[in-house]
Amino acid sequence: MRFFPYLSRDEFGYYSKTPSRRFGEYLDGLEIRDRQKVFHSFRSTSNNCLKQSGVDEETRCQFIGHKHDTVNSRDYSDPHTLEYLLNNVARKLIYPNIDFLALV
């Protein structure tokens, strides 16, 4: 199941081209020019946060949308359910320096 089912693949088979471009335009509008602040920074930051919270690599890969290509994960087990990811992974995304209530 895709989180954004209305996105279409680009010529290389990826779905990230349009969101990445739009996020870049958004950052330009905010005059943020740091080349290290890109759309995939969300993935990197989330992966690191989950790693620091003790989430294993296979689960992190599934959560952030990367393949964990080992025989064990590929051939001998099913992916985690969405319920499992919500209850055991998403809740570990803790960003102490962000006041999310200020965004409401």
17 and 50 belong to one structural domain? no
Length of the chain: 104
Among left, alpha and beta (phi > 0; psi -120 to 50; other), residue 65 is: left
Number of domains in the chain: 2
- Is residue 69 a part of any domain in this protein? yes
81 and 51 belong to one structural domain? yes
Q: Do residues 96 and 70 make contact, with C-beta atoms less than 8 angstroms apart?
A: no
pLDDT at 1: 64
- Is residue 100 a part of any domain in this protein? no
Residue span of the structural domain in which 56 resides: 40-93
Q: Do residues 63 and 51 make contact, with C-beta atoms less than 8 angstroms apart?
A: no
29 and 60 belong to one structural domain? no
pLDDT at 40: 82
- Mean pLDDT over the full length of the chain: 88
State mean pLDDT over 4-8.
87
State mean pLDDT over 60-79.
87
Q: What is the pTM of this model?
A: 0.71
Q: Do residues 7 and 15 make contact, with C-beta atoms less than 8 angstroms apart?
A: yes
